[in-house]
Amino acid sequence: MARLRKLFRAQSLVAEEKLQGDAASAKQMFVDTGGRILKDYQLIDDTAELLIDALLGTGLDRAVTGLFADAIAHVNKLLIPVLAIDIPSGLNADTGNIMGCAICADITITFIVLKKGLFTGLAADCCGTVIFSDLEVPNKIIQAISSKEQLLVPR
């Protein structure tokens, strides 16, 4: 996201007390490049060029509630294009089920492997156009972590 900050006037809504590891590092890079951290989802600027959704990740296994649900509802009311990182927040990566509520993204960019939940359940209502990058992870590793399902695509 820090790299995208250089291309767009960007703001980020962060649940700071929970950040660790890569997420904490990404937040710091975002701030270091001039990104603005918002403490309240209601402060999201509805004149932004793009909203990047990285609120919740692929490990979501319970219903979205509380402030996260409120933030998702607020974002879905805005007339801003939404780019979801890896999977729209609130969507189960394995089943495609909406876990209480989910971001309605215009584009979802997903990495390393295609998540089954991007193409099943109610995913079509949430993902928009799905873009995939394997990040040049070696095929041997991808095969080891991929599920056995296969995706049939049009020729």
Per the CB < 8 A criterion, the answer to whether 105 and 133 are in contact is: no
Query: Would 111 be classed as within a structural domain?
Result: yes
Query: Would 19 be classed as within a structural domain?
Result: no
Query: Would 27 be classed as within a structural domain?
Result: no
Query: Would 72 be classed as within a structural domain?
Result: yes
pLDDT given for residue 76 in this prediction: 94
Residue 86's domain is classified under what CATH number? Answer: 3.40.50.10260
Q: Which residue segment(s) compose the domain that 119 sits in?
A: 40-145
Total domains in the chain come to: 1
Query: Would 85 be classed as within a structural domain?
Result: yes
- Taken in order 97, 99, 103, 104, the sign of the CA dihedral is positive
pLDDT given for residue 82 in this prediction: 92
pLDDT given for residue 155 in this prediction: 57
The identity of residue 86, as a single letter, is D
Query: Would 20 be classed as within a structural domain?
Result: no
The pTM score is 0.77
Q: What is the mean pLDDT of each run of 10 residues along the chain (155 residues)?
A: 56 63 79 75 76 86 91 91 93 93 95 87 90 84 68 58
- Digit-coded pLDDT (tens) for 62-103: 999 988 899 999 999 998 899 999 999 999 999 999 999 999
Query: Would 64 be classed as within a structural domain?
Result: yes
The distance in angstroms from the start CA to the end CA of the chain is 33
pLDDT given for residue 48 in this prediction: 77
The DSSP string of 114-126 is: --GGGTSTTTHHH
Alpha-helical (H) ranges within the chain are: 2-5, 21-32, 66-77, 124-127, 139-145
